[in-house]
Every structure is written in structure tokens, then in C-alpha cells.
Amino acid sequence: MSNWAISDSRKAYNIENWGDGYFDICHNGNLSVAPGRNNIKIDIDKLSQQLTDSGLTFPILIRFLDIIHSHIDRIESAFAAAMTKHNYSANHKIIYPIKVNQQQDVIEEVISHGKDRVGLEAGSKPELLAVLAKSLPGSTVICNGYKDEEYVRLALLGQQIGLKVFIVIEKTSEIELISRVVQQLNITPLLGIRARLASAGSGNWQNSGGEDSKFGLTTSQIVKAIERLSQLNLSQSLQLLHFHIGSQITDLSHIKSGACEIARYFQQISLLNINISVIDVGGGLGVDYEGSKSTSHCSTNYSIQQYAEAIVSPIASICAKEKLHCPDIICESGRAITAQHAIILSNIIDYDRQEIVDTQSVKSTHWIISKLKQMLLEPITDISTAFAETQELYLQIQGQFKTGGIDLKTKAGAEGLYRNYCHRILSTPRIRQLEPDIFNILSEKLADKLFCNLSIFQSMPDIWGIEQIFPIMPIHRLNQQPDRRAILMDITCDSDGQIKDYVDSTGLERFLPAHRFETGNRYVFGFFMVGAYQEILGDLHNLFGDTHSVNIKIEGDGFVIKNTRHGDTISDVLKTVHFHPKQVVESILSLFTEALPPESDIDATKIQSIIKNSLKEYTYLHPKQI
């Protein structure tokens, strides 16, 4: 009998580190989430069954909206504490950049909870229209990105309807553009300027900051921009100084460096008689996806409080030293607000397992077979030598088959015995410590392949695009020992549709601890922290569309399911690539009719019904499970 305990599962999947206090395991072995401050726990497996009982099928995206509230409060509290510590006599405001997650439900939740503590940021005309529609009266709006006259006109319209709209100058050419529209509308704008700092982050997003950044003005361009704004009588409109050293900054030292540099820009620009009242520190507040608290590209080596301290301290210091007024500080921490709130649930629909074969069932007397049988009877005295020998035999198996030296059955038997010996090597005591490379190779080679009913390209495109890490684990059976090693595959026809790295108790691993799966059984996995960027970046590879989604909100002593939205049907995705469903039906029916012999008694209306019903189906699979 196994001595496995729930605490062992917590450790195996590193829940306590990446879960950030939200996720835990119930006494029944199911995963739970406590999204609000009132510690109400939701059994995620029971929730998944409730959703499937209501008619939804996997995959399902679940948004725990109260987690958004929690992160807004955490960021706000961290800056309040840092400002109090440094006697900072100005305010902090969170600006949510909607590009991180443009879903209306998410934006509304940010605004309704944050109220006057929160504003919105747009980086395009469509985003700006969404921001104008959802902003509260008097709230702050930041306009970033490339601009044309219509963009500037919409921004100034926002100012006319009572919003505090900052148009951030990111290219010198934008000055003339803004001036032209301002004169046409006779409106005094609020302007910001983005400095291209020498400081930059590290990792996947480092190029959004630093000297090679796509956006921002160099020091000489800033000086010339201020001169030109003065000539255009717009220097008094310049009230915001913006910088952005990159998204998902993993190392606190980079944040400190950027804050120190922008503090000096603030001080120097003040000497040019420009009254900067707001410093926008941009994004960068990272999320610890892997729970390692390190500088790995999917982790962070700091807390939210340390981040706030790193921002406030150098600005407060230079203001005190130079006797300058303290500017308001705003941060665009979109990832930190939304990443944790959303999860994807998917069922396992099939598997490919490297089973141990019965040695006696392999009847061939070929020398390779005999050699492998003999090796299986002998003890392994040296892991490295045993591994090298078995790899050489494997190459000989392939070579013998190609040249006709062995037949198909002999090859199958030899490969089975080869796998048996690999299993023996992998079970050698202390192999992980003694030969970590061999351990990793064999663990990956012998792992079960579990096929998940989802598309990585649609639901977690950053796994494919930038090797992003997301925590993944079963949502039930966590009171049982996971006795298998697994690699997860999606259902696309693409070799990139697999997950190669997994969070575990020691960092990252090439396989995931899993329980034995048999076809027809219910086995559901959760894919966590997918609330930032994944929905909007997802694509239609193999025409797998948007998934079902639901919102969960804490109310009273329980929770409610809100805004259930059904995912794309086959008809929906065909329309996106300009296949009209009616024409699809007519074309297939026409081909079918032409293919039937004249004497056929097959009813064409039944065929038409099958096709029409298929068009109404979810793009994902519907395996029968018990």
C-alpha cells in the first residue's frame, strides 16, 4: 500500500510556490482554488463536473475573476507601503494595458474593482475605442503605440468626454501629427514622452526596452522634442514621462536600474522648465510561472513589495536631494493583474505507453535478441556503460532492418527488449544523482504520451512561440501516487503541439508526474496562469477554435457561474477562412449525389442532415468516458 499523502502531491507539482496562495488540494484529493479574501475554497474537479453536466465539453477556460481583484489590491498596497516608507507625497495609480487581455469581462472587472485607483492603456485605434467605452468618468487613459490623425482625434475626444487622456510621444514624427490635429480641434492636449533608456530587462521580452527598443526617444531626440513642443506652444502640455524596460522582468536589479535612470531623466527634464507631474514606469512586474523565485525567464526573484520599493526609492531619493516635487507614479502591470486568474481544463483522450514486454514471448534466436536477453539477466554495474551498450544495440537493430538482416517481427521483439533494458537502467538506484543526463534521456524516451483535448496553438500559444512555462497538473486523484512519467500532446497535426517542460518540486523537468490512464476513464488536467496574452494570441491552427469559457465569482458563502460562452463551432471557424457553411453543404451533397449509382436507395436528405449537424459541433473532440 502506498504511503503517498496530499502533501507529497503539493511538493511534486510545486503548488505552494507557483499557486501564490490561491491553489491547494482538498482532503478528497481534488485541486481547489480560493480566489477571494474570504477563503472560500472551490473544488475545481467538482466544478468541472458541474460544467460538463450543464452541457459544456472540454476544453473549458475558467476565469476566477476575484483573483483579479486580489492582485489589484496587492499592487496598490505595495506602492502605498513604499510611498509611506519614503515619505513620498504623491499618488500611485495602476494602468491596465488591455492588450494583455482584451476580453470585455476582464476589463470590466478591473475597472469595477479598481474604480479611481485604476485607468486603462491602449496601443491601437480599436483598443482606444474599447478603452473610451469602458473608462469611468475622470479616469486616466494612456495612449501608446503608432498613431495617425484618427488615433489622435479619438484620444482628444476622450479628453472632451471628461477623461484624463495622455498621448505618449514615442516617435519624433508624432509631434507634428499631434500639433496638426490639436489645431484642427482647438483642444489643449495632455502629452507624455517615452524615454528610450539604456537599462533593459532580460529574457524573452528584453527588446521592448533598452537602446535597441522599437519605441521611445533617445536623449538627443528628447531634447529636440522639448524644443519643438516649446515652438508649438505645447511644452506646458508635456506632463508625463514614460519608460518601459521590458515585460516579465525577472531580475530586480534591472528594475532598480531603470528606476534610477528615469529618476535622472525626470530631474534633468525639470531643469528645462518642463513640469512633469506623472512618471509612467510601464510594465515589467513579472509573474513566477514556475515557482522557482529565480531569474529564469518564466520566474522572478522578487515580490510585489520589493518591486514597488525598487520603483519608489530612487524617485523619492532624487526628489528629496534636488528639492523637486514628487510626481505621481503609474505602473502598467497587466500581466501581474491577469495571469493567475484563468485556467484551461482539458480531458485526456488517448495515450501511447512504452510497456514492458514479456521476454519469453520474443521467440527469435537472432544474435541481437540473444544479446539483449542475456543483458536483462545480468546486474547493471555501471550506468554509463550499460546505456552506451544498449544505444549501440538499438542502432544495430535499425541498421539490420534496413539492410534486410532482420524481419519485422524480429525488429519488434528486439525493440521491446531494448525498452525493457532502458526501464532497468532507469530504475537503477540513484541514477538521477549519478547520471542526470542519462536519467533525463530515458525518462523522456520512456514517458507515457498523454493526448489532451485542446490545441496548444489556440489556448497556450506562448508555449510554442517562446517556450513559455505554465504550471500543469491533474485536478483530481491527488491523494494517489502519480506512478507514471508523462509528456502531454495536443490534438493538432503538428509535432510542435506538445509540451516539453514542466514545473516540478526542483524547478523544471522534461516530464510530468501522472497517474496511469486507460482509454475511457476520466482524467482531467488543469493548465494554469493562462490569463495574460494567451486568449488574444491564440490562433486557428488545424481550425481548432475558441474554447468554451465561464466566469466564476464569489458571492456570499459560495460562488456563481456567470457569462457562460460557448466556443467556436465548425461553422464558425470555416467562416473565418471564407468557407460559407451553406456552400460547404451544397458542394459535399453535390459530390455525394454524383457518386451514387442510379439504383442507390441512400437518402440524400440524411447525408445533408449529417453535414449540417457537423457544422454545429464544437471544433474539439467528444470521446466517451466513464
CATH number at residue 261: 3.20.20.10
Confidence grade of residue 65 (pLDDT, cut at 50, 70, 90): very high
Mean pLDDT of the region 201-211? 55
Nearest CA to 42 among 589, 560, 573, 594?
Answer: 560
Percent of the chain at pLDDT > 70 equals 97
Mean pLDDT of the region 392-406? 96
- Contacts (Cβ under 8 Å, ≥6 apart) of 558: 40
Q: Do 427 and 304 lie in a common domain?
A: no
Q: Do 168 and 256 lie in a common domain?
A: yes
Number of residues assigned to the chain: 626
Residue 81 maps to a domain? no
Q: Do 544 and 508 lie in a common domain?
A: yes
pLDDT at 54: 97
DSSP 327: P
Q: Do 419 and 451 lie in a common domain?
A: no
Q: What are the φ and ψ backbone dihedral angles of 222, each rounded to 5 degrees?
A: -65, -45
The better pLDDT of the pair 492, 624 is held by: 492
Cα–Cα dist 142/235, whole Å: 18
Cα–Cα dist 330/314, whole Å: 15
pLDDT at 626: 47
pLDDT at 204: 54
Residue 264 maps to a domain? yes
Q: Do 250 and 325 lie in a common domain?
A: yes
234, pLDDT greater than 50:
yes
Confidence grade of residue 620 (pLDDT, cut at 50, 70, 90): very high
pLDDT at 208: 54
Least confident of 169-173, 188-192, 202-206, 564-568: 202-206
Percent of the chain at pLDDT > 90 equals 90
E strand or H helix at 269:
helix 252-270
Least confident of 40-49, 79-88, 206-215, 271-280: 206-215
Using DSSP's 3-state secondary structure scheme, residue 430 falls into: coil
Q: Do 237 and 117 lie in a common domain?
A: yes
- Contacts (Cβ under 8 Å, ≥6 apart) of 536: 99, 101, 102
Mean pLDDT of the region 448-458? 98
pLDDT at 221: 97
Using DSSP's 3-state secondary structure scheme, residue 237 falls into: helix
Residue 623 maps to a domain? no
Least confident of 52-56, 207-211, 431-435, 582-586: 207-211
CA dihedral (150, 331, 253, 258) positive or negative: positive
Q: Do 164 and 312 lie in a common domain?
A: yes
484, pLDDT greater than 90:
yes
According to DSSP, the β-strands at 548-555 and 558-565 are antiparallel
8 Å CB contact between 365 and 314: no
What cell numbers appear for 114 in the block? 479598481
Q: Do 155 and 131 lie in a common domain?
A: yes
User: Which range marks the domain in which residue 404 is found?
Assistant: 359-443
pLDDT at 212: 62
Q: What are the φ and ψ backbone dihedral angles of 336, each rounded to 5 degrees?
A: -65, -30
Cα–Cα dist 296/294, whole Å: 5
Q: What are the φ and ψ backbone dihedral angles of 97, each rounded to 5 degrees?
A: -80, 115
pLDDT at 202: 61
Number of H helices, E strands in the chain: 23, 22
Q: Do 297 and 250 lie in a common domain?
A: yes
Cα–Cα dist 459/461, whole Å: 6
Greatest CA separation found in the chain? Answer: 97
pLDDT at 392: 97
Nearest CA to 474 among 447, 512, 531, 511?
Answer: 512
**Mean pLDDT taken over the chain:** 95
pLDDT at 506: 82
pLDDT at 601: 72
Q: Do 328 and 373 lie in a common domain?
A: no
Q: What are the φ and ψ backbone dihedral angles of 166, each rounded to 5 degrees?
A: -100, 120
Residue 255 one-letter amino acid: I
Per residue in 159-193, pLDDT tens?
A: 999 999 999 999 999 999 999 999 999 999 999 99
| Domain count for the chain | 4
Q: Which of 192-206, 310-324, 494-508 has maximum average pLDDT?
A: 310-324
Mean pLDDT of the region 271-288? 97
Mean pLDDT of the region 302-311? 98
Q: Do 151 and 271 lie in a common domain?
A: yes
Residue 412 sits in a domain of what CATH number?
A: 1.20.58.930
Least confident of 49-58, 314-323, 591-600: 591-600
pLDDT at 39: 82
Cα–Cα dist 230/20, whole Å: 49
Confidence grade of residue 603 (pLDDT, cut at 50, 70, 90): confident
Mean pLDDT of the region 16-38? 94
Least confident of 11-20, 336-345, 589-598: 589-598
Q: Do 503 and 423 lie in a common domain?
A: no
Confidence grade of residue 201 (pLDDT, cut at 50, 70, 90): low
Residue 471 sits in a domain of what CATH number?
A: 2.40.37.10
